[in-house]
Chains A and B, each alone.
Chain A
Amino acid sequence: MRENSPIEALIHLVQNTVAQCRVQDRGNATLIEALECFQQSRLLPIYERTQKAKKKKYVLSLVGLTNVGKSTLMEALLGVPAPKKNGPATAIPVEYHHGDNWNLRVFHKDTSSAVETFDDPKKIDARLRQLVVDVTPKAAESTKWVTVSGPVPLLKDGLVMADTPGFGAAQIGEEDGSHQKRLEDFIRNKIDRIYFCIAAGDTWAISDTEKQFYQMFSELCGHVVVTKWEGSESEKEKYRSHYQDIFPSATFIFTNAKMTEENGLQRLKDILEKHTTAEKRVHISEQEMSEAFDSFLNYMETVHNITSIPWSSFSLKSFLSSISERPEMSDISMRLKESNS
């Protein structure tokens, strides 16, 4: 028999409880609304993330407007020079994998591929620049994909870092908006987690394009990386309170080009470190689920004064059995049993 994961069991519990409340004459409208909202805005995004977390090939990407400093950040994280695409860039995907030697593999449209080996990672930069930045439209047409592999500690457990072209700036030789569209498709289909980069600069301004772009992919995104940060500790707090509304529930990480914000980079590395294996990632989303559920029960108690919820007894049993062997979730099962009427 197939075992449900806790998150799936919890969603079924909420769904079936809603269904059960609906058919009862005394169906509590407030409760139904709150349960549905909880499912839509909290549980389903966590479920989507869990599904992605289970994938063997988990692809991260730094996403941001052209020129916010993504390449610099990539370089700092991976230790490999990433080509800066200040000029017009093609939309050829570049992925970084772990490997024993520094290799670069180019996949062509006719399904052939070629491997180039490098003894010095610094040389990769120039070659990549040739392949994806200073490339003729005709050559770009035939190149489908580029992977770079090398002894990068961060990627050794199978994490993949994708270099995504920046958005916002017009691309030469492309119709208006078509680059944006392709980038969106690429992110939606190939990227599992986004680290959204915005440049602080002097003005701290965030453009509407950035806001829109973030909103489109907010479910893939848990962190906002503020690049080119020159402010002080207290200013960070100010920045956070100023922009938290635009990036709800995201955590801010501050870095700058000269990497004087060492702590910020280290923090980002630590966070990436937590996503290196499928187990770690699933564990994180289960933690998220526990927190979301806990806060839901608190919300019901405080806002609606509802302390007992008529859980569907059937699904409740399934959910409790799905978390029965996880001591870290014993609080939840305890609270659930208490709240069950």
Chain B
Amino acid sequence: MKVFIIGPEGAGKTIFATMLHDYVTSEQGNLRIKVRAGDIATKKYLAKELNVLKHGEWPNSTKEGKQITLNWIWEVSGRELSFQLADSAGQDIRSELSGEQDQLHIKQQIQDADILIILVDIYGHQSDAHEKKIENAWIIEESLKIAGEAKMILIGVSKADLIPPPFKREYWQNTEAIVSLFKEYMPEFNFEAFRRRLQSSKTSIVAFSAVSNTSNRSENGRLIRFPQNPLNPIGIDIIAQEIVRIVKKKNPSLVRKLLSIVFFWIPIIIVSLFILIALVSYILTIFL
């Protein structure tokens, strides 16, 4: 299983990965999965980022040219799955998707991924330059295009707690509400292709806040938001459950496989046998 996270810089990819990990590790029983870090680098990296957040700071942004691949082992339905989650710097995603360079093979990674998670920061998008706004929209459009129709795609609107009313908490999982949010605040985004995609079961969209408990602090003459304990993620659970659902679908358990054989393949074979026999006997009656 490969999961690839994509989104412009500042969309919150690293924080999302950190909080997703924290959520799944603490809720493994409820999710009916078991999760552990696949290597020491992953374990160290996630622990470090979480520690930074818990101490009231945002983690440093991922450096350009650097890609962090988190290796997890998820045990779903009694099967061990290696779960790779790649997190790269937003600048690289931007430049590779606009065709400037191709160092990290972002396009290839999108194609290879089993699940593509696209993060959109509608709040940050508002104060971006016009040119950058067009690029932000381009990143989403391009990655959707590269992914193709068949891929499982999860679109997450990050920092949803900063989106002003009337977009309330109860709309965070409401596709229509999020769609109108896109229309209002991201007019640069080509909507029609996206709409079609949302009707298929392969694409889902939710709003979330990886760290909803923040406090303001004035620093260098500006008021800046900082994380506060407890970090209180909202909506990460929905995304985690969605991933588990997709994983289960893609990797059915033995019982499920047996059931599908008994109830799906055996009836089909029987029916086709009958048809065959009927055909043969029909042909025979014609000739004899």
Q: Once the chains bind, are B164 and A2 in contact (CB under 8 Å)? A: no
Q: Once the chains bind, are B218 and A48 in contact (CB under 8 Å)? A: yes
Question: Which residue of chain A has its CB nearest to the CB of B213?
Answer: A2
User: With A19-B127, A23-B127 known to touch, is A321 a contact of B164 (CB < 8 Å)?
Assistant: yes
Inter-chain contacts of B264 with A (CB < 8 A): none
The answer to whether the Cβ of B84 comes within 8 Å of any Cβ in the partner chain is no
User: Which of A2, A16, A48 is within 8 Å of B127, CB to CB?
Assistant: A16
Q: Once the chains bind, are A314 and B164 in contact (CB under 8 Å)? A: yes
User: With A1-B161, A20-B127 known to touch, is A47 a contact of B169 (CB < 8 Å)?
Assistant: no
Q: Once the chains bind, are A12 and B212 in contact (CB under 8 Å)? A: no
Question: Which residue of chain A has its CB nearest to the CB of B123?
Answer: A314
Inter-chain contacts of A313 with B (CB < 8 A): 126
Which residues in window 102-160 of B have CB below 8 A to A? 123, 126-130, 132
**Mask: chain A, 26-61; 1 = CB below 8 Å from B; 0 = not:** 000000000000011000100110000000000000
Which residues in window 214-241 of B have CB below 8 A to A? 214, 216, 218, 221-223, 234
Q: Kindly count the residue-residue contacts between A and B in the assembled complex, taking CB atoms under 8 Å apart.
A: 57
Q: Chain B's nearest CB lies how many Å from the CB of A282?
A: 15
Question: Which residue of chain A has its CB nearest to the CB of B223?
Answer: A11
Inter-chain contacts of A2 with B (CB < 8 A): 161, 212-214
Nearest 8 A-B pairs (CB), nearest first? A317-B164, A23-B129, A19-B127, A318-B164, A11-B223, A321-B165, A314-B126, A20-B127
Could you say which interface size class chain A belongs to? 20 to 34
Distance, CA A318 to CA B222, complexed state (A): 18
**Mask: chain A, 292-315; 1 = CB below 8 Å from B; 0 = not:** 000000000000000000001111
Inter-chain contacts of B216 with A (CB < 8 A): 8, 11, 47
Q: Chain B's nearest CB lies how many Å from the CB of A35?
A: 12
Question: Which residue of chain B has its CB nearest to the CB of A18?
Answer: B127
Q: Once the chains bind, are B221 and A40 in contact (CB under 8 Å)? A: yes
Distance, CA A151 to CA B222, complexed state (A): 42
User: With A2-B161, A2-B214, A317-B165 known to touch, is A312 a contact of B223 (CB < 8 Å)?
Assistant: no
The answer to whether the Cβ of B185 comes within 8 Å of any Cβ in the partner chain is yes
Which residues in window 245-300 of A have CB below 8 A to B? none
Q: Once the chains bind, are A20 and B222 in contact (CB under 8 Å)? A: no
Distance, CA A15 to CA B161, complexed state (A): 18
Distance, CA A48 to CA B126, complexed state (A): 27
Inter-chain contacts of A111 with B (CB < 8 A): none
User: With A1-B169, A15-B223 known to touch, is A24 a contact of B129 (CB < 8 Å)?
Assistant: yes
Distance, CA A20 to CA B128, complexed state (A): 7
Q: Once the chains bind, are A47 and B212 in contact (CB under 8 Å)? A: no
Q: Once the chains bind, are B169 and A23 in contact (CB under 8 Å)? A: no
Inter-chain contacts of A48 with B (CB < 8 A): 218
Distance, CA A2 to CA B169, complexed state (A): 11
Inter-chain contacts of B161 with A (CB < 8 A): 1-2
Which residues in window 187-225 of B have CB below 8 A to A? 209, 212-214, 216, 218, 221-223
Inter-chain contacts of B169 with A (CB < 8 A): 1
Q: Once the chains bind, are B218 and A47 in contact (CB under 8 Å)? A: yes
- Given A1-B161, A47-B216, A318-B165, 12 more A-B residue pairs with CB atoms under 8 Å apart are A1-B169, A2-B161, A11-B216, A11-B223, A12-B223, A16-B126, A19-B127, A20-B126, A20-B127, A25-B130, A44-B218, A312-B126
